[in-house]
A and B are shown apart, each in its own frame.
Chain A
Amino acid sequence: MSELNLTDNKFIQFHQKIGFKFDGVKYYGYKGDTIASALIRNNIKLIGRSFKYHRPRGFYTCGIEEPNALVQIISEFSEPNTRATIKKIYEGMEIESQNRWPSLETDIGGINNIFSPVFPAGFYYKTFMGPHKNFWKKIYEPIIRKAAGLGKPPKEFKAVSTHVNHNVDVTIVGGGLNGLIAAKSLIDTKFSVLLIDFDDQLGGILNNSNKVQSVNNQTPMDWISETVKDIENSKNIKILRNTLVTTYNYINHLIAVEDKFVGSRPLKDKVNSTLHKIRTDQVILSNGHIERFLSFQNNDLPGIMLCSSFEKYMCRYGVMPSKETVIFSNNSNSESLVFSLIKKGFKPKAYIDSRSGENIEPDLFDLIRKNDIPLYTNSQIKGAFGSKKLQKILVEDSSGRFNEIKTDFLCLSGGINPDVHLFTQSKGLLDWDEKDLTYKPAQAFQPTITLGSASGQFDFNSINKEINEKFDIFGIKPVQIDLELNTSHKFKIEKLWEVLPQKQTIWSKSFIDLQNDVTTKDIRQAISEGFDRIEHLKRYTTNSMGTDQGKISSINALGIVSDLLDKKVNEVGTTIYRPPYAPLSFAAIAGRNSYEYYDPERKSPIHNWHISNGAVFEDVGQWKRPWYFPINKYETMDDAVQRESKNVRENAGVLDGSTLGKIEIKGKDALAFMNLIYTNSFSKMKPGSSRYALMLGEDGMVKDDGIICKISDEHFIATTTTGGAATVLECMEEYAQTEWTNLNVYMNSITEQYATFNISGPKTRNIIEKVFPEVNFSNEAFPFMTFQFHEYEDTPIRILRASFTGEMGYEIYVPSNQAIKIWEKIINFGKEFGLKPYGTETMHLLRAEKGYIIVGQDTDGSVTPLDLGLDWMIGKSKKDFLGKRSLIRSDTVRKDRKQLVGILPINKNDKLEEGQHIILDKEIKTPMPMLGHITSCYQSPTLGHNFALAVIKNGQSLIGTKAFASTPELKTIEVEIVEPIFYDKKNTKLAS
């Protein structure tokens, strides 16, 4: 094991051993370890295989920017693509490496590496096109599906997360040095503050490096604990730890996800993660910076790591990834690692810098010299070599000589970038800094302040000045922080993006994106093929399109492209970083809105009766409606529907119609309003009568239908279709509030307040007279399309004589809380007359026999009342109503519009099918001209054969002629076009 001092500190409890399994083998780490730090303790360097070429990969970083070390957590619903560098271990954790088969050590997918000439840039685009089509389908796709990709999808998954909303004045993202200073300065001010850090320990760079010797004359650790204690004791600041801000939306809206089980096994019945939705007046981004890598031959070998990550493993986790590492850098950021290594007595094996001796920080230069570390200035690493892990490197020194150095470890630093992901998500603008060679926040789009290295301020001595200037808006006391540093306070860098190899072979690659396996050669090829705009190049090569969004490499790609195109980086531009900052699980987003809570379920007030009577349910929007009532488990739906339909026609049936929308309209001008909303005229209607009515859109197309009951000129009740209830009410509100504001009218939904029971069939009157003995149901006293209010055992009810089946029928409206009482009464009294409940499918069949349309089934938003043959429903004398003028548009008066007709098979045994075309030719050919299609189709128990409704071109004039209907088997059925009514054409039953 490569370990440092094993005394407990606040990060790692070395006395607490933790056992976990990686690829089936048991290892031990300590409380506080991440998977990565624990595996490094066990000398594991190989963690996974790469995405495309299956190359061996190790830990490249020590944080969320990690491109390689993605693992599957078997013990957590098999959660894939977990970053080993941040996920903490717990007792009994089971981890598997990804994208390898049969095992990590011997992976046969590695053959992709040898065949890599077939995976060039734009491979997917090229193979999808033209002559390679079959090649793709038969050869590539099966192989790629098996070999490519990251982890496997999780199994048996149940989201256990919750959402929390915050409304605060200030949100500080990142609790490192600058975040803590900022929070401290806001203690006990009038501002409510959230301080958010991804880590379980605040302090950032102070924890992860030896850059700072003291803060305000305290050790960094003492300063952190004192500051955190002060913040925690304040009344106005709340700290969210283990919380990653993933998204920065408009109007300072942040999304952050909190892991509630860091370092312990998530409990199934507890909230595993919390999604914080934060609204804030001011955002402070103090989320630091990310170190970049460098491109050279085989820069992906296990054993290569970023400098600051190596130092973080040492300082934060007390583990040495290697006792003898080589360092390669072009900037100041490596200085701190050299200092830390020497302090701990692990002298680097060699220090290689692309800068000349006089450009290297003098302190660093002296340190290297004093400790006799081999120093290569003006030098570059031409390549790294080894099988499954780093074994040697090739260095070209200032004189152009090649030196081979045997080493199993190499630390890299290619510069640093402010972590601008959140800043650009907020639509802030970046500008290229030619001195520091990175994009820095330039102009915020929202109330955003960037602080410290997140703002591109890499000079420790400027912290006080920056914060005091930027915090002027808060009107608080100025901050004074005294820092004592172990390394240079300023950042210096010299340009180096890529070292070209000495020799190019297909075995060796120089990577620019480790997660997506993109090489610098791919970038060159894309540019030579003309993809020289950065957004095109990104998509063509898939550079920076992995889940890490190229955190350690995307800027390098811009540098390489700018050199190739001989343009300034600022002219090349950047691609846009998109939310989420790091992968965010769907479980966290879903929160409680999953499974049975995904969408509300609406139930009729007598739902339980349907359940206990064996109903099979159908989803209609959010409603659960009884579809049919099978008599036993053997009865099929078809059989049940034939039986139920026959019974309605011969005896009587009752349908639970409670889901129909019901809207109450009141006001001095209710009549005028209803006349404007519906096509019909309600002016001459007597109070107590009702009317079937149509509602159109302004384009003249049928939007909804229903029955309007007129209680008085100032009071109406409208029913709507089950699915249209909300839309109709919204439409009424819209016109009442925005168009006809002079009308005094109010409306409200009463759908849920009343249950509706539709009884119909020849024996209806016998039954209903028994249920309501005091009501006179004779034709004279209670004619068709009238309604009456009655009291039933102190329950106010409304009875409407109407029918949707073609039989004589009544609809009973009952307050929902009394519904079951009336329903059971109807069922019980109906028994002797053969009354049976029926479901929606029987209702559909019966109404189709009668030629009643269903809006949304027989219409599709392109059908006018004239197309349906419902001209009689249009109030001709009315000056205006919704959509009236559209009924004389050139398009709506066209002669060849599709119109509603009935369809009957000539051969009565033929089966028609919904959605099939009506055509004129017996033979199906290509292209096939069609007249229209079948919208509803049923087997009629009354007729004894199939019948259908259809919308066909010029349909009304084709009635009486013959045509053909297609079948799914591409055959044709000869049919007759008829009037769209199949039952009781004279309406004698309705009024019987």
Chain B
Amino acid sequence: MLIIDCPYCGPRDQSEFSNGGEAHVKRPDGSADIGDREWGEYVFIRANPKGIFYERWVHSHGCRKWFNCVRDTSTDEILKIYKIDEERPKLDSFKNNVKTPSGEPNLGSGNFTVKK
């Protein structure tokens, strides 16, 4: 279970939070000028990368505040937490651990052999 550092309350157990999926997804307004594809992508399509991921969390059993988070999905390491109105941190400011050909992280599953 993760420890999540709520920017308003401090570090708390994951069970107090809910995940809100990918962050920085811009909502087009609901007008008819928006094309089917653009709207469809907003409604139905989300990224699910292995590695660095910008995502949203809400402290649902706490202060009810939403915030953003950068997490390495291959190791579950939380790299940065920032408020919703703060600038999105640059991707190259994080060390991406996903290097092996199969996409497995250097660390984190099985033994040295299984990864090959």
Contacts and interface: CB of A to CB of B under 8 A. Distances in A.
Interface of A: 249-251, 253, 279, 427, 429-431, 439, 442-443, 445, 570-574, 576, 698-699, 730, 733-734, 737-739, 741, 879-886, 888-890
A249 B76 CA distance: 11
A453 to B, nearest CB: 19
Given A443-B107, A737-B65, A250 B1 contact: yes
B111 A439 contact: yes
Given A427-B108, A445-B108, A885 B31 contact: yes
Contacts of A430: 111-112
Nearest to A739: B27
A430 B44 CA distance: 41
B39 A880 contact: no
A739 B84 CA distance: 10
Contacts of B31: 879-880, 884-885
B30 A738 contact: no
A967 B46 CA distance: 42
Contacts of A730: 18, 58, 60
A741 B30 contact: no
A886 B110 contact: no
Contacts of B44: 699
B101 interface: no
Contacts of B49: none
11 contacts: A250-B1, A427-B107, A429-B107, A431-B112, A445-B75, A573-B110, A576-B110, A698-B27, A733-B58, A738-B84, A883-B30
A249 B44 CA distance: 33
**From A733, A739, A880, A885, residue with most partner B Cβ within 10 Å:** A885
Given A888-B32, A889-B36, 6 more contacts: A429-B110, A430-B111, A445-B107, A734-B20, A739-B27, A880-B31
B111 A431 contact: yes
Given A885-B28, A888-B32, A889-B40, A741 B84 contact: yes
Contacts of A439: 111
Nearest to A697: B43
A284 to B, nearest CB: 19
Given A427-B108, A445-B108, A249 B1 contact: yes
A890 B114 CA distance: 47
Nearest to A741: B85
Nearest to A165: B13
A427 B84 CA distance: 32
Contact of B113 (A573, A699, A880): A573
B40 A251 contact: no
B74 to A, nearest CB: 11
Contacts of B85: 741
Contact of A734 (B30, B42, B58): B58
The 3 lowest CB-CB distance pairs between A and B, nearest first, are A884-B30, A880-B30, A573-B113
Interface string B94-116: 00000000000001111111100
Nearest to B44: A699
A718 to B, nearest CB: 17
Given A443-B107, A734-B20, A734-B66, A279 B39 contact: no
Interface in B26-66: 27-32, 34, 36, 39-40, 42-44, 56, 58, 60, 64-66
Contact of B32 (A572, A573, A885): A885
B55 to A, nearest CB: 12
B27 A881 contact: no
Interface of B: 1-3, 18, 20, 27-32, 34, 36, 39-40, 42-44, 56, 58, 60, 64-66, 75-76, 84-85, 107-114
A738 B56 CA distance: 9
A574 B111 contact: yes
A880 B28 CA distance: 10
A15 B66 CA distance: 65
Contacts of A879: 29-31
Given A430-B111, A572-B113, A888-B32, A251 B84 contact: no
A883 B44 CA distance: 12
Contacts of B43: 698-699, 886
Contact of A442 (B2, B29, B112): B112
Contacts, number: 89
Contacts of A571: 113
Contact of B36 (A427, A882, A890): A890
A882 to B, nearest CB: 8
A737 B75 CA distance: 29
Secondary structure at the B interface, as helix, strand, loop or mixed, is loop
B5 to A, nearest CB: 11
Contact of B39 (A427, A737, A885): A885
A249 to B, nearest CB: 6
Contacts of A888: 32
A249 B15 CA distance: 14
B39 A570 contact: no
Nearest to A883: B30
A873 to B, nearest CB: 16
Contacts of B60: 730
Contacts of A445: 75, 107-108
A558 to B, nearest CB: 11
Contacts of A249: 1
Which of B27, B56, B60, B84 gathers the greatest number of chain A CB atoms within 10 Å? B27
Contacts of B34: 885
A879 B3 CA distance: 41
A851 to B, nearest CB: 28
Contacts of A884: 30-31
Contacts of A573: 110-111, 113-114
Contacts of B65: 737
A572 B110 CA distance: 12
A250 B110 contact: no
A279 B40 CA distance: 43
Contacts of B18: 730
A346 B28 CA distance: 85
A441 to B, nearest CB: 10
A407 to B, nearest CB: 39
Given A250-B2, A573-B111, A741-B85, A885 B30 contact: yes
B84 A253 contact: no
Contacts of B40: 889
A577 to B, nearest CB: 11
A278 to B, nearest CB: 12
A784 B87 CA distance: 49
Nearest to A431: B112
A576 B76 CA distance: 19
Contact of B109 (A427, A431, A883): A427
A889 B39 contact: yes
Contacts of A443: 107
A737 B63 CA distance: 12
A698 B76 CA distance: 29
A576 B110 CA distance: 6
Nearest to A428: B107
Contacts of A741: 84-85
A737 to B, nearest CB: 4
Nearest to B29: A880
B1 A251 contact: yes
Contact of B112 (A570, A698, A880, A881): A570
Contact of B66 (A574, A737, A890): A737
B113 A570 contact: yes
Contacts of B39: 885-886, 889
A775 B88 CA distance: 57
A574 B107 contact: no
A734 B27 CA distance: 13
B17 to A, nearest CB: 12
A883 B29 CA distance: 10
A279 B3 contact: yes
A699 B41 CA distance: 11
Contacts of B66: 733-734, 737-738
Nearest to A698: B43
Nearest to A253: B1
Which among A250, A733, A738, A741 has the greatest number of chain B C-beta atoms within 10 A?
A738
